[in-house]
Amino acid sequence: LDYDHTRLRGLALEEGSHTSHVAIVARALDIPVLGGVKGVLDKVEAGDPLIVDSDNSQLFVRPSEDVRAVIDGALRARAERKALYAQMRDMPARTTDGADISLNVNAGLLIDVPHVIESGADGIGLYRTEIPFMVRSAMPDITDQTRLYDRIFEQAEGRPVVFRTLDVGGDKLLPYWEDMTEENPAMGWRSIRITLDRPAVLVHQLRALIRAGHDRDLYIMFPMIAEVAEFDMAKAVLDEQLRREATRGFVPRKVEVGAMLEVPALIWQAPALLDRVDFLSVGTNDLLQFMFAADRGNPRIEGRYDTLSPSVFAFMRQLVTLCDQRDVRLTICGEMAGRPLEAMALIGLGIKRLSMAPASVGPVKEMVRSMCKSEVERYILTVMDNPTRSLRSRLKAFAIDHGVKL
């Protein structure tokens, strides 16, 4: 984030995986990125030409002319696809049997926000408020935060923006905070746990959001809720700040409050939670690492467990049923939502809202417009109880047989 984004053409990281936060931010900026490239620093010298092929997980060091010619052809094909996606910008994300799917973008920087308009997305389904905190040398005060959130509202041009409150810890560290090194940071002191333990941080952020949201629709989401009690505590802080700011003349036109489901245990409290929230979002990156007890940043087990597995499908189907029964909007965020094959499966499981990197909106919309929702639903019902560890090959074959564009 400290680099000039217009000059940064690609990233090759010795550590991390495709779901690490640095990789997610890079993709949001449309920068090709590879993680877990062991020994790359020993093999590359300053000035070496490199090709980062993130589509096929390949890094070419000092590529030959033949390789360059192949890559140039691939880039031309990609440019043609982008032109096609641009033509579809104002077309609805509607399946062949008439089901409308809401496609939203994930964002975390001001530079991301114009992509909402450019991509034809319905709004910002996840605004990661922590990223501006991570690039500063000191904690931004209420005035700075208010100014930032106000600009986000303006650039979104009336489209809804879901602000996720500060989600730091784990692999997202603030340089000006105390040392937060832990043996197991993914399951440690992070996210809502920090802001409930340090309520002044949450209070200041909520005041800034309320002030920027004056006379606007304000959507606030609390991350990594593991118990309903945590949501209740965070919501109580928000309610108090809404009352306080109202006496100062800051009154949002509408306020909706949601939670992010990333901890699997929360599904057993879902009925109580769904009675309290206006909407629910699933953070699949963390959810899947907790579900499979597999560190998302560990390259040794990356890919060991597939997102397109019967256990994931059963979890999602149960959640969809619970949300439909209580008329609570459910959105899938995370990398899973932005991959056409996975998005097809999610829609077949009953998901109606997806939020993804801006560059994924075009490919996913093309897929949506080529699929028949009812056919996918019927097929998933026939395979989701299969004991196999992955349904990927079956779903891909189904998509090819039924003309779904992946």
pLDDT of residue 23: 67
pLDDT of residue 56: 65
Q: In sequence order, which residues have a C-beta less than 8 Å from that of residue 9 and are 6 or more positions away?
A: 31, 32, 52
**18 has catalytic annotation:** no
- Give 66's pLDDT tier (boundaries 50, 70, 90): low
**21 has catalytic annotation:** yes
Which of 19-28, 261-270, 396-405 is least confident? 19-28
Gap between the Cα atoms of 92 and 103, Å rounded:
9
- Give 361's pLDDT tier (boundaries 50, 70, 90): very high
User: Is residue 155 a contact partner of residue 198, using CB atoms and an 8 Å limit?
Assistant: no
User: Helix or strand or coil: residue 19?
Assistant: coil
Gap between the Cα atoms of 117 and 156, Å rounded:
7
Longest dimension (CA), the chain: 68
162 bridge partner residues:
219
Gap between the Cα atoms of 216 and 210, Å rounded:
9
- DSSP, residue by residue, 255-268: EEEEEEE-SGGGGG
353 bridge partner residues:
102, 331
Q: Is the pLDDT of residue 219 over 60?
A: yes
Other C-beta atoms closer than 10 Å to the C-beta of 149 total 24
User: Is residue 297 a contact partner of residue 171, using CB atoms and an 8 Å limit?
Assistant: yes
User: Is residue 153 a contact partner of residue 161, using CB atoms and an 8 Å limit?
Assistant: yes
Q: What is the mean pLDDT of residues 335-342?
A: 96
- Going by their DSSP bridges, the two strands 11-12 and 33-34 should be labelled as parallel
Token pair 């940064």 is found at 8
Which of 6-15, 138-147, 342-351 is least confident? 6-15
Residue-wise pLDDT for 290-302, tens only, equals: 999 888 777 778 7
- Give 206's pLDDT tier (boundaries 50, 70, 90): very high
Q: Is the pLDDT of residue 156 over 60?
A: yes
- DSSP, residue by residue, 15-33: S--TTSHHHHHHHHTT--E
Q: How many C-alpha atoms does 64 have within 13 Å on its Cβ side?
A: 2
pLDDT of residue 60: 77
Q: Is the pLDDT of residue 1 over 60?
A: no
Q: Which domains are assigned to the chain?
A: 11-79 (3.50.30.10), 93-401 (3.20.20.60)
Q: What is the mean pLDDT of the chain?
A: 88
User: Is residue 391 a contact partner of residue 309, using CB atoms and an 8 Å limit?
Assistant: yes
- Give 74's pLDDT tier (boundaries 50, 70, 90): low
Dihedral angle of Cα 203, 334, 27, 219, to the nearest 10 degrees: -40
CA 219 to chain centre: 16
The Cα-based distances of 189 to 58, 95, 184 in angstroms read: 35, 42, 9
- Give 27's pLDDT tier (boundaries 50, 70, 90): low
Instruction: From 290, 365, 279, select the one nearest 323 (Cα to Cα).
Output: 279
- The token duo for 77 is 């094909």
User: Is residue 25 a contact partner of residue 108, using CB atoms and an 8 Å limit?
Assistant: yes
Gap between the Cα atoms of 185 and 273, Å rounded:
26
Q: How many C-alpha atoms does 294 have within 13 Å on its Cβ side?
A: 18
Gap between the Cα atoms of 214 and 212, Å rounded:
6
Q: Which residue in the list 18, 115, 214, 333 is annotated as catalytic?
A: 333
pLDDT of residue 288: 92
Q: Which residue in the list 18, 21, 204, 214 is annotated as catalytic?
A: 21
